[in-house]
C-alpha cells in the first residue's frame, strides 16, 4: 500500500471516466459517524435479521437504541469526501456512487446517482404490508409512546446504522405499523439478510458501464461490496482503493492509497479540476 499520495497518479490510473465509486463507512467518519472495522474502531456485534424478526425483546432493544442514535445521525452533515465525489460527478468523471452506508450523506452532498446498497437509515418498512414511511414520522410516534426516553441519555456511542449503545432498554415501547399492525423494521439490510436481487443487478450494470472503479473508505470485508471489485477486476478494469489500513480487495487493485477519504478525494477532485457542486435543497430522494 502506498505511503504517499499522488493525486495525478490516481487520476492516471482511473482515466477520464466514467468511474464508478464504491464507498464504505470510512468516508463518513469525518462527519462524526464511526465505522465498523477501522484501525481504531471498537469491536461491534450488530443485530442480525433473524434476531430482529424472531424475538420481541431484541426488537425492543433495537428500537430503543435506534430512537437515541437516530437523532445523532440525523444531525450529521456531509464532509469534504462526500462533496468531492459530488463534484466529480458534476464534472462528468464519476458515473454513479454505490454506497454501503445508510446515512444518505452522498445525496445531501449533491451526488445525484446513488445506489444505497444496504438501504437507508431514514426510512422504515412494514414487513407485513410493505408500506415505507419516513423515520422522522416514526420518531414522533416513538416519542409519544416513550416520553423523555431519549432526553435522559447523553454522550452515547453510536454505530454507523444509528444504533446507540445503551446500558438498559427496559420498559421501552416499540411501535407497530399504523396501517396494518405489522412489524416495523428499518429499511436497512441486516446481517443475515440478502441485498435485494434487483439492486445487486443494477450495481453490476454500473460496473459494466464504467471504465474504472474507485473504492473509498471500505475494508471490503463484506461480500456485498467486495463482489463488485471482483467483477471490475475480472473485466480488466482498473481498481483504485482509498482506505485507512489494508482491505480484502488490495490484491485485485491496480493502486491502493492508505489515507483518509476527505483529504485524498478532495485532492483527486482538484486534480480533475472539478468544482464544488451547488448545495442541495429540498427533499433528498434516492435515484432509481
pLDDT computed for residue 102 by the predictor: 92
pLDDT computed for residue 61 by the predictor: 87
* Residue range 161-186, pLDDT digits in tens: 444 445 556 788 999 999 999 999 99
All 3 cell numbers of residue 73? 445521525
Query: Please, what is the average pLDDT of the chain?
Result: 86
Q: CA nearest 288: which of 145, 131, 116, 92?
A: 116
For range 240-246, the mean pLDDT:
96
Report residue 99: phi and psi, to 5°: -115, 140
pLDDT computed for residue 167 by the predictor: 52
What would the CATH number be for the domain defined by 42-75+122-188? 3.30.1600
For range 180-206, the mean pLDDT:
95
How far is Cα 288 from Cα 205, in angstroms, rounded to an integer? 13
All 3 cell numbers of residue 182? 405489522
pLDDT computed for residue 168 by the predictor: 59
- Domain borders along the chain are 1-33+79-118+194-288, 42-75+122-188
What is the arrangement of strands in the sheet containing 119-126, beginning at the earlier edge strand?
A: 132-134, 119-126, 184-188
How far is Cα 285 from Cα 222, in angstroms, rounded to an integer? 26
- Per-residue pLDDT band for 44 (boundaries 50, 70, 90) equals low
DSSP string of 236-251? Answer: T--EEEEESS--TTGG
Name 283's Cβ contacts closer than 8 Å, sequence gap at least 6.
none
How far is Cα 59 from Cα 234, in angstroms, rounded to an integer? 41
How far is Cα 186 from Cα 176, in angstroms, rounded to an integer? 12
Name 257's Cβ contacts closer than 8 Å, sequence gap at least 6.
1, 2, 5, 10, 240, 241, 242, 243, 264
Cis peptide preceding 18, ω within 30 of 0:
yes
* Residue range 60-101, pLDDT digits in tens: 888 988 888 787 777 889 999 999 999 999 999 999 999 999
Residue 255, strand partner residues: 240
Residue 124, strand partner residues: 133, 186
CB atoms within 10 A of CB 270: 13
Q: Angle 165-168-173 (CA atoms, 0-180°, nearest 5)?
A: 100
pLDDT computed for residue 4 by the predictor: 59
- Same fold flag, 1-33+79-118+194-288 and 42-75+122-188: no
Residue 267 has pLDDT above 90, yes or no: yes
- Per-residue pLDDT band for 255 (boundaries 50, 70, 90) equals very high
What would the CATH number be for the domain defined by 1-33+79-118+194-288? 3.40.50.1220
pLDDT computed for residue 281 by the predictor: 42
The alpha carbon dihedral of 239, 229, 225, 275 has a sign of positive
Report residue 217: phi and psi, to 5°: 75, 35
| Known catalytic residue at 61 | no
* pTM, entire model: 0.85
Q: Which residues are annotated as a binding site for Zn(2+)?
A: 126, 129, 177, 180
For range 120-139, the mean pLDDT:
94
- DSSP at 86: H
Say which of 61, 74, 118, 204 is annotated catalytic. Answer: 118
pLDDT computed for residue 286 by the predictor: 38
Is the separation of the CB atoms in 50 and 234 below 8 Å?
no
With residue 68 as reference, give the H or E element that holds it: helix 56-74
How far is Cα 241 from Cα 114, in angstroms, rounded to an integer? 19
Residue 201 has pLDDT above 60, yes or no: yes
Amino acid at each position: 500500500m502506498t505511503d504517499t499520495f499522488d493525486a495525478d497518479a490516481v487520476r492516471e490510473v482511473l482515466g477520464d471516466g466514467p468511474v464508478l465509486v464504491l464507498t464504505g463507512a470510512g468516508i463518513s467518519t469525518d462527519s462524526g459517524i464511526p465505522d465498523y472495522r477501522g484501525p481504531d474502531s471498537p469491536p461491534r456485534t450488530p443485530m442480525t435479521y433473524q434476531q430482529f424478526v424472531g424475538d420481541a425483546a431484541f426488537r425492543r432493544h433495537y428500537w430503543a437504541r435506534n430512537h437515541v442514535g437516530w437523532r445523532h445521525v440525523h444531525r450529521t452533515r456531509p464532509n469534504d469526501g462526500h462533496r468531492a465525489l459530488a463534484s466529480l460527478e458534476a464534472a462528468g468523471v464519476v458515473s454513479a456512487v454505490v454506497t454501503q452506508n445508510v446515512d444518505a450523506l452522498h445525496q445531501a452532498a449533491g451526488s445525484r446517482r446513488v445506489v444505497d446498497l444496504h438501504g437507508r437509515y431514514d426510512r422504515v418498512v412494514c414487513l407485513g404490508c410493505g408500506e415505507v414511511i419516513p423515520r422522522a414520522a416514526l420518531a414522533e410516534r416513538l416519542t409519544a409512546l416513550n416520553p423523555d426516553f431519549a432526553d435522559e441519555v447523553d454522550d452515547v456511542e453510536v454505530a454507523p446504522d444509528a444504533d446507540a449503545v445503551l446500558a438498559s432498554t427496559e420498559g421501552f415501547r416499540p411501535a407497530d405499523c399504523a396501517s396494518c399492525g405489522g412489524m416495523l423494521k428499518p429499511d436497512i439490510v441486516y446481517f443475515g439478510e440478502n441485498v435485494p436481487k434487483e439492486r445487486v443487478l443494477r450495481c453490476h450494470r454500473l460496473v459494466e458501464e464504467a471504465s474504472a472503479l474507485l473504492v473509498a473508505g471500505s475494508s471490503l470485508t463484506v461480500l456485498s461490496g467486495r463482489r463488485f471489485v471482483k467483477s471490475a477486476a475480472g473485466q480488466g478494469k482498473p481498481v483504485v482503493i482509498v482506505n485507512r489500513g489494508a482491505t480484502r480487495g488490495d490484491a485485485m487493485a491496480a493502486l491502493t492509497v492508505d489515507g483518509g477519504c476527505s483529504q485524498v478525494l478532495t485532492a483527486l477532485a482538484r486534480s480533475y479540476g472539478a468544482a464544488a457542486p451547488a448545495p442541495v435543497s429540498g427533499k433528498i430522494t434516492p435515484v432509481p
